Structure 1
């Protein structure tokens, strides 16, 4: 089985003395290529730290993070930046679009920052992938929240990343817009054959994934395959009572 991301005995500690917090505690988990994994857990369980370490935004104190065949610990900061630019996409709760730019211009940015001018066909492909080709000339203020998040997904897709990390991507959206975004993320896996790793607190959002990983105190405490929203909600309720 090909792995997109492989965490091996990863530990991350913040602070020292009485303020010491172990965010990840000897955590191991493999994310298969072409899969959709939701990461859930109570507040402080280590969800955001896991995403940051897996994406090379933060370095663990010990353990190994592999992105396909690359050991992130062997890369310096410039090499990490290049790897994130070329092989990783990000979608956050905040859309992080530049208000003065059109949707098409926002989508172009990752490639421009990498020193390459994307073709009109590439931009059109990305916007068409999220159903917004006709909105290419609109600025963020002329789009709904759901449409802005779809532009953010198109911006992540234009580099054709191996892995797309999504951090609470539906947190700022209404139910209908959130469902559209989740269906798009599902399509990133099913149609574009990419890997999606999504942090969420929402059982309905998590039910779009192939697998739900449950964290508590920086450790994997459960894994649910073929998840359903009601089962996820029950498991989360039990975790929060711990």
Structure 2
């Protein structure tokens, strides 16, 4: 796949003083408390934090899946916080890719047909060569005709990744993408995410609880109680990355 996203923008995603409050009966729960942060174009960011820290809420708001209570969110330069649902839906369809822990493939469709789905939903003709390139990019060029039941968990997640990238999104959001995979397969999927960043400048934001998974990123953002608690830049040559990340998580959970 040849990236066509706008790489001229220094920041692919930006949150400005974002608050998110959920109301549960008479109780108000503040999931995000004035978060301001930018995510550089072409970078790989891992988002971590204790349970209830707000990491999934941050991802959902940044991706336009949920609305902030206040503040602004920009995706590829566009302010999505003021968009109505129709415009947010169009933005998610055309400019954002999603990969989740659950592969969410349609069991009755082949790998190629699953990858085509975002194009069909957008009313675009699915070009066979384009789909073939997407599958080849994730190492499944020879599996186009296989259904999910004929693929391993790692292969299914690769199909989900190809599906997320077929629209050449400005940003790829990944929510625990290796949570359902064994250790070996997880490393393969993470290495592929890393390769997409390095070779195609695919901006990627990944929520994870796994220090090893986070160690594939360029930077780790730590959240606690809805606020940014720390930021750790990673050197790919530093073999102690997972241990350093785990130690910081332990401090936050103490």
Same fold per superposition (TM over 0.5): yes
1:174 aligns with 2:182: yes
Tell me which residue corresponds to 1:28: 36
Compute the RMSD of aligned alpha carbons: 1.1
Aligned equivalents of 1:18, 1:233: Cα separation in 2: 36
- Please give the TM-score of this superposition, normalised by the length of structure 2: 0.93
Tell me which residue corresponds to 1:153: 161
Tell me which residue corresponds to 1:192: 200
Which consecutive segments of 4 or more residues in structure 1 shift more than 4 A? none
Tell me which residue corresponds to 2:15: 7
Aligned equivalents of 1:186, 1:123: Cα separation in 2: 21
Tell me which residue corresponds to 1:234: 247
Select 2:80's aligned residue among 67, 72, 75.
Answer: 72
Q: Deviations over 1:115-173 (max 9, x none)?
A: 01121110011000000010000000000000000000000111000100000000000
Q: Which runs of 5+ in 1 are unaligned?
A: none
* 1:18 to partner: Cα distance: 5.3
Q: Deviations over 1:26-72 (max 9, x none)?
A: 01111000000000000000011000100011110111001121001
* 1:193 to partner: Cα distance: 1.1
Cα distance change of structure 1 residues 17 and 108 upon mapping to structure 2, 3 Å threshold: closer
Tell me which residue corresponds to 2:170: 162
* 1:17 to partner: Cα distance: 7.2
SS of aligned partner of 1:25: strand
Q: Which runs of 5+ in 2 are unaligned?
A: 1-8, 236-240
The structure in which a higher percent of residues are helix is: 1
How many pairs align?
Answer: 241
* 1:16 to partner: Cα distance: 5.8
